């Protein structure tokens, strides 16, 4: 691992800075050993970062789209060139298997590449006038300073998915990464500096406590937009605290993803899709399968094949060969995961495979049979390597069960019937639907949810729109 990519301070106005002597430690979740100590910037650094971004906005927004694109392209190239080192840092601080980490680095870089191009396609309009002596023109302009608050489970991709469209549109940014995974964030900020972003255009604030930093972003009239990925509870707080400044928010929040297996499904493909979706990053992703709904006719066949494959998943340190299930992010996550299993057993569920913590850092990949609506994971996001199996007997029942949640992020189903595929996809109350597919995330597709899973979209041609204001100009008295 390249130690020249390791930094322990916040990055503000082109400089690595700290405020006072506060710091916090970063731990390897595979063994709970300390891997770094970083300075805690807190609200003081956050305010300085917002000021720096605001001061840089005028100059950056007036650059040509091509100019901004070239720097973004350079940043993308540097991330790819350093992908192995970045992946090692990622596995060290968040625990995911090294193969997944390498995949995330490339996935994260793809957003920079995509939006480097999309920034050159922010087209306005000329609207046919309602009067012969008037001309109507619509411009699209950058919204201003953007605050990005990102989670630990995708510590690189969640930054680039928010920051790349903002920078491409002409906005300046302040990033607050998770206190669990600050090292990947500082590493790519260093590469952004090398790529040539001017001082103040891209800033990073490290902090142990997210609350005071988030409050600075919410209450500041200089911050025009917040993009947040995290829990629904925190999303509500940010929404409420931003009311006084009436800023725009993009919120990618919790999920309760159903995975429906109809009686005509290709069972082997459905099992493969369920495992790919559920157990990536040890089940610690917002689009992970949370509930598998299986038709009565194939319940036994599907559950047997699923358990057989799940039992083969190797658990261990993310650097170990062939490991598929890395550690949980911390002890609290293990305790929460265990509570779901215990709750299900008390309410009539059956452990079909797994079901136990492994030491202080890991949890066995687990399948729970005989799940019912009374169990906690029917309403709550598991965020761990546990999946419950439910039965249904009709299409109407399956859709009703799938939609019986406050969340609406990702959903999945398997069927060979094209008519059913259209109908069910339209009836599912989710922002994203995987049809005979368990992996749906891509830089070219809009990512986001409905209901209590948030608002706004990231990625795709739609992902840049939340960083833009529309200006209508009316030219009158044209003779």
Q: What is the pLDDT of residue 21?
A: 86
Segment 369-384 mean pLDDT = 95
Q: What is the pLDDT of residue 2?
A: 85
Taking the C-alpha atoms of residue 194 and residue 191, their distance in angstroms, rounded to an integer, is: 5
Q: What is the pLDDT of residue 425?
A: 98
Which residues are within 8 A (CB) of 335 and not within 5 positions of it... i.e. 6 or more apart?
none
What's the pLDDT tens digit per position in 213-250?
A: 999 999 999 999 999 999 999 999 999 999 999 999 99
What's the pLDDT tens digit per position in 52-82?
A: 999 999 999 999 999 999 999 999 999 999 9
Segment 252-272 mean pLDDT = 97
Segment 171-185 mean pLDDT = 98
Q: Three-state SS across 192-215?
A: HHHHCCCCCCEEECCCCCHHHHHH
Determine the distance from the C-alpha atom of residue 113 to the mean position of all C-alpha atoms in its chain, rounded to a whole number.
Answer: 18
Segment 299-314 mean pLDDT = 98
Active site residues: 252, 286
DSSP letter at 319 equals T
Taking the C-alpha atoms of residue 176 and residue 407, their distance in angstroms, rounded to an integer, is: 25
Q: What is the pLDDT of residue 1?
A: 73
What's the pLDDT tens digit per position in 15-49?
A: 999 988 899 999 999 999 999 999 999 999 999 99
Segment 259-275 mean pLDDT = 98
* Locus of tokens 């130690």: 3
Q: What is the pLDDT of residue 187?
A: 98
Q: Which domains does the chain have, with CATH numbers?
A: 3-254+452-473 (3.40.605.10), 257-404+410-442 (3.40.309.10)
Average pLDDT in the chain: 97
Specify the pTM.
Answer: 0.96
Q: What is the pLDDT of residue 332?
A: 94
Phi, psi (rounded to 5 degrees) for 91: -65, -35
What's the pLDDT tens digit per position in 459-477?
A: 999 999 999 999 999 999 9
What's the pLDDT tens digit per position in 84-126?
A: 999 999 999 999 999 999 999 999 999 999 999 999 999 999 9
Q: What is the pLDDT of residue 402?
A: 98
**Is the pLDDT at 190 greater than 90, yes or no?**
yes
Which residues are within 8 A (CB) of 418 and not within 5 positions of it... i.e. 6 or more apart?
none
Tokens of 112: 């920079």
């Amino acid at each position: 691992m390249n130690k020249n990519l390791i930094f322990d301070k916040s990055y503000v106005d082109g400089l690595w800075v700290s405020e006072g002597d506060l710091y916090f430690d970063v731990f390897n979740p595979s063994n709970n050993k300390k891997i770094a100590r970083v300075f805690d910037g807190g609200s003081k650094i956050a305010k300085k970062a917002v000021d720096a971004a605001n001061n840089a906005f005028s100059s950056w927004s007036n650059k040509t789209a091509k100019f901004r694109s070239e720097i973004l392209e350079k940043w993308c190239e540097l991330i790819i060139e350093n992908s192995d080192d970045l992946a090692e840092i990622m596995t060290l601080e968040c625990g995911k298997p090294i193969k997944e980490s390498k995949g995330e680095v490339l996935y994260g870089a793809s957003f920079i590449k995509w939006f480097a191009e999309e920034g050159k396609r922010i087209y306005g309009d000329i609207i046919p006038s309602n009067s012969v002596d008037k001309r109507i023109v619509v411009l699209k302009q950058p919204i201003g300073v953007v605050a990005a608050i990102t989670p630990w489970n995708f510590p690189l991709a969640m930054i680039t998915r928010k920051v790349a469209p903002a920078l491409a549109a002409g906005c300046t940014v302040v990033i607050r990464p998770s206190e669990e995974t600050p090292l990947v964030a500082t590493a790519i900020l260093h590469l952004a500096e090398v790529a040539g972003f001017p001082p103040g255009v891209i800033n990073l604030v490290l902090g142990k406590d997210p609350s005071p930093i988030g409050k600075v972003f919410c209450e500041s009239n200089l911050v025009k937009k917040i993009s947040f990925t995290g829990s629904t509870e925190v999303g509500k707080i940010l929404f409420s605290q931003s009311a006084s400044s009436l800023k725009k928010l993009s919120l990618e929040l919790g999920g309760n993803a159903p995975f429906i297996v109809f009686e005509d499904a290709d069972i082997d493909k459905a099992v493969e899709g369920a495992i790919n979706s559920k157990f990536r990053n040890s089940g610690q992703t917002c689009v992970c399968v949370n509930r598998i709904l299986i038709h009565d006719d194939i319940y036994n066949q599907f559950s047997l094949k699923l358990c057989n494959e799940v039992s083969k998943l190797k658990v261990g340190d993310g650097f170990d060969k062939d490991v598929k299930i890395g550690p949980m992010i911390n002890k609290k996550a293990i305790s929460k995961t265990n509570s779901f299993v215990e709750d299900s057993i008390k309410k009539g569920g059956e452990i079909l495979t797994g079901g136990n913590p492994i030491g202080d850092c890991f949890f066995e990949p687990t399948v729970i049979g005989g799940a019912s609506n009374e169990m906690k994971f029917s309403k709550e996001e598991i965020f761990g390597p546990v999946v419950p199996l439910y039965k249904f007997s009709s299409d109407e029942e399956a859709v009703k069960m799938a939609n019986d949640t406050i969340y609406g992020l990702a959903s999945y189903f398997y069927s060979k019937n094209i008519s059913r595929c259209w109908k069910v996809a339209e009836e599912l109350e989710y922002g994203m639907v995987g049809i005979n597919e368990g992996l749906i995330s891509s830089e070219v597709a809009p990512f986001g949810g409905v209901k209590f899973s948030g608002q706004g979209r990231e990625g795709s041609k739609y992902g840049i729109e939340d960083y833009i204001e529309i200006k209508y100009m009316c030219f009158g008295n044209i003779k």
